[in-house]
Homo-oligomer: A and B are copies of this chain.
Amino acid sequence: MKIIMNVINNGIDAKLFDYLVENIKNTSFYNFLGIELKALGPGTAEFILMNKREHTNIDGVTHGGVIMSLADAAMANAVRTMGSKTSTVDFTTSFLNAAPIGEIIRAEGKIIKRGRRLVFTEGNVYAGDKLVGSHNATFYRFGELNYE
């Protein structure tokens, strides 16, 4: 059961937008974990996840792996809005607050530097208005997406 009905296009090419929306909808791990796309813009992406019992660690709060997975989705797809195929090189996380179950958690990713080969991004994960994770990641561009 999806939470997001309509993904928002904040200003990228319509064909690229459709391609990425379809692409993300067919990403096995996103579906498995419950990661949903909310919005794409030029160099930005927003994803959400409904935080359930299956995401919790032994202390009853969301496992860090869920937070990092959601953040990576937002940051990698921020890079894909450049039309690039990409893979994560380095990924850093600080865990600032716990995310209790039963809440929607939300990740915002954005590009801070576009290089020819390397793209640098930052990402934040929120539970409500609480900052849960602060992230930096570097991506490698290994080709162009065929969306036309």
Q: How many copies does the complex hold?
A: 4
The reply to whether B96 and A112 contact each other, CB–CB distance below 8 Å, is: yes
Chain A, residues 119-148, CB within 8 Å of chain B (1/0): the string is 010100000000100101010100000000
The reply to whether B96 and A90 contact each other, CB–CB distance below 8 Å, is: no
Does A9 count as interface, using CB distance less than 8 angstroms?
Answer: no
The reply to whether A94 and B87 contact each other, CB–CB distance below 8 Å, is: no
Which residue of chain B lies nearest to A92 when distances are taken between CB atoms in the complex? B92
Chain A binding surface, main DSSP class: mixed
Chain A, residues 84-124, CB within 8 Å of chain B (1/0): the string is 01011111111111100000000000001100011010100
Residues of B within 8 A of A89 (CB): 89-90, 94-95, 118, 138
Does A33 count as interface, using CB distance less than 8 angstroms?
Answer: yes
The reply to whether B53 and A63 contact each other, CB–CB distance below 8 Å, is: no
Contact of A131 among B59, B95, B113 (CB under 8 A): B113
The reply to whether A65 and B29 contact each other, CB–CB distance below 8 Å, is: yes
Which A29-45 residues sit within 8 Å CB-CB of chain B? Answer: 29, 31-33
CA of A93 to CA of B73, assembled, Å = 15
Residues of B within 8 A of A140 (CB): 117-118
